[in-house]
A and B are shown apart, each in its own frame.
Chain A
Amino acid sequence: MSFPISECESPDSRAPRIGYGAAQAFLEVGAHVTILSSSLERVSDAVKHLDSPNVQGKVADARDEENLTQALLSLAPLDHIIFSSVDKIIRGPLADADLEEAKHLFGVKFWGSVIVGKGNCPLIWLWALASDS
């Protein structure tokens, strides 16, 4: 089984889309996938192009702890979570960088991952307790 590039291309060729490609790969093997993004338009676009009965979309903002946590809890139980969100990408010479803007890269990439981990702590504990019994 392989996933040639033609099968992993996202609807918007302007950006590399690892998350989209991963979602497509999981759908190919029969998983049920929920796409989460802060943009309703992008979620709808991705779901439309993935074109599978096993995919759904949900708007969630990785910058917003309460919002993202509630979105994940609404999907529980989940077997796997893939985190590929990114916000501002640092581009160009460092000397010209706008550091206030650049901080958003970590706002989502780092703190977003922390939010996912924190938000799932109760679920992980419940899973562990259920597994012990």
Chain B
Amino acid sequence: MNRNDLYHHSHHYSGQSGDTLPKQVVIYLHSAAMGKLADKLVGKKIAVIGGSAG
């Protein structure tokens, strides 16, 4: 996967408007990477600080 593929497969969040910061936050959870992680995350106890927003 190259950068263009990454871009096209990325998920875009519209951020708050601002003049000095990027207006989009890109969240991309690569399917292959998550596939590999998935088995290791089953049943794990995870704290997400800022998980209601972040």
Contact = CB atoms under 8 A, between A and B. Distances in A.
A2 B29 contact: yes
A65 interface: no
Contacts, number: 177
Contact of B18 (A17, A22, A72, A91): A91
Contact of B21 (A13, A26, A34, A90): A90
A1 B48 contact: no
B51 to A, nearest CB: 4
A82 B41 contact: no
B18 A42 contact: no
Interface string A1-35: 11111001010111111111111011001111111
A83 B37 CA distance: 18
B38 to A, nearest CB: 4
Contact of B35 (A1, A86, A89): A1
